[in-house]
């Protein structure tokens, strides 16, 4: 799976790992906002390491958790989904608006191969200080550069460079970001 080769998503070990994640996520998503320490402990268990200074607003869903790497200061708003069948890196200070979906998993386009039930996965890399607007979809194998803004509802199917505003379906670069921060205040998400 992590090698980017065809794999059986119903393999016993993978099923057990997804069940482990579902159990943790059920507890996390049903926790009270005041239970800050409990939530931090659950995230540490989900990600198999201390995720640092991050905030994930429930409900949140993922496949495994163990393939997600979050930088400090990451904020993930409600109803986000990360299919982490491969590594998903989200850089420090990155903000995900409600309903963002990040997919590392995909299926073969060949219908005969797809019938076998085998799947594929490719890593997703999101840089530092990225803002991803509500309802955006980030597809397998995509990289998004530092300091970039992805507009709400975008479908990102190819790499997006650093310091740009990009939006649409498919997502495309609309403009470069001005050299000094704060020169433009776009409403993209």
Active site residues: 107
Closest among 78, 75, 56 to 65, alpha carbons compared: 56
Cis peptide before 59 (omega within 30 of 0): yes
Query: Whole-angstrom Cα distance, residue 180 to residue 4?
Result: 39
CA distance 157 to 94: 19
Residue corresponding to tokens 């491969």:
86
Output the six-digit token pair for 125.
């890399």
Residue 31, CA distances (Å) to 16, 20, 93, 96 in order: 23, 17, 24, 21
Burial 70-108 (b: 16+ CB within 10 A, else e): bbebbebbebbbbbbbbbbbbbbbbbbbebbbbbbbbee
């Amino acid at each position: 799976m992590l090698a980017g080769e065809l794999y059986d998503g119903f393999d016993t070990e993978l099923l057990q790992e997804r069940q482990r994640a579902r159990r943790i996520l059920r507890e996390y998503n049903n926790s009270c906002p005041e239970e800050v320490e409990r939530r931090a402990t659950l995230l540490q268990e989900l990600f198999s390491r201390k995720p640092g200074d991050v905030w994930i607003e429930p409900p949140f869903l993922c496949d495994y958790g163990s393939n997600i790497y979050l930088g400090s200061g990451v904020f993930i708003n409600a109803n986000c989904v990360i299919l982490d069948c491969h590594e998903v890196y989200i850089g420090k200070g990155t903000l995900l608006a409600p309903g963002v979906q990040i997919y590392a998993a995909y299926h073969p386009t060949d219908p005969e191969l797809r019938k076998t039930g085998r799947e594929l996965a490719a890593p997703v890399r999101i840089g530092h200080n990225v803002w991803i607007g509500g309802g955006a979809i980030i597809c397998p194998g995509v990289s998004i550069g530092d300091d970039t803004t992805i507009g709400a509802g975008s479908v990102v199917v190819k790499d997006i460079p650093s310091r740009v505003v990009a939006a649409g379906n498919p997502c495309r670069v609309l403009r470069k970001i001005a050299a000094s921060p704060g020169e433009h205040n776009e409403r993209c998400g």
